[in-house]
Amino acid sequence: MARVKYYYDTETCKYERVKVKTSDIILNLLGFLTLSVLIAIGLTFLLGKYYKSDKEKVLLNENEKLKEFYSILSNRLDQVDGNLASLQKRDNNVYRLIFEASPIPTSVRVSGVKNDKAYEKILKSGLAKDKKELITNTFKKVNQLKRKMYVQTKSYDEIIKMVKDKSKMLAHLPAIQPISNKQLTRLTSGFGMRMHPLYKVAHFHPGIDFAAPYNTPIYATADGVVKRSEYMGGYGNTVDIDHGYNYVTRYAHMASFKVKPGDKVKRGQCIGYVGSTGFSTAPHVHYEVLKNGKQIDPVYFFFNDLTPEEYEKILKLASIKNQSLS
């Protein structure tokens, strides 16, 4: 029951009862209702934010796991794409170069990627925007990989036909590293502009340096005939092997030889030992590949003894702009 309120009337000198207006009652009720609604909204928000039902907790947990699994899947797809990229690079820069076939343009490798019906269905679904993006991005990656793999498969089919016609030629093409390098730790300087070890200025380095202890065996990288085994100025003790088909390989700064001019050698045969003769700052073998008398990057000619992952690592090591050993 509401309390009765009084006020002191100065004219009558008495306490008079306060008369409550209908408008005041309505305003008080509205204020009370407004406050009640605000409190209800606040409680609903707090309960929704901090209190989850068992079903909601399960769904949230599943959602987090799905995001985690998507991240793993996305990383795996990126790894596959990276491996495929190294195969594409090897395809264009080695296989097609060897058989004098035109490289496949990047536009051809990635063109024609279309969204399938499942992709369109996802876009029209009632899923939340972030979930749509997760799923559609995965579909895009998969479709791009499918296209690239299709083009690469067709390219290999073409190369296989070339190989059958030129099987003898393959034995005479450089295809392995000149020293044992299973751990891929011996490549110290790549092909291209590098810092000169003594003059400390940039100079063109026409091959690859493999650091190794004195007297480490050096191997012929393909079948051929020894063209030179002699001291050659800044190259020091050097062996040149003519492989035919306009290919020559050079092995410099050797400690000693195991072959002489005119000797026929096989791929993997020891031709000498690592040294530091000529213009050299440490024991290593400087290795070059020449085609038509012009030096080309040897890193594209290690395809026989490297997996795609190892080949990708070698490419990265060879691209480091460091100081050469000679």
Whether residue 315 is predicted with pLDDT greater than 90 in this model: the reply is: no
The residue whose two tokens read 């050096």 is 218
Side chain identity, residue 64? E
Q: Tell me the C-alpha to C-alpha distance, in Å, between residue 86 and each of 81, 271, 306.
A: 9, 31, 12
Tens-place pLDDT, residues 273-307: 999 999 888 899 999 999 999 999 898 888 777 77
**DSSP one-letter string for 48-114:** HHH---HHHHHHHHHHHHHHHHHHHHHHHHHHHHHHHHHHHHHIIIIIHHHTTPPPPPHHHHHTT--
- Give the integer Cα–Cα distance in Å for 263 and 282: 29
Q: How confident is the model at residue 325 (pLDDT cuts 50, 70, 90)?
A: low
DSSP state of 203: E
pLDDT in tens, 109-118: 777 555 566 6
User: What are 190-205's pLDDT values in tens digits?
Assistant: 777 666 666 566 667 8
More confident residue, 97 or 60: 60
Q: What is the pLDDT of residue 46?
A: 60
Neighbours of 127 (CB within 10 A): 14
The per-residue pLDDT for range 126-141, each reduced to its tens digit, is 666 777 777 777 777 8
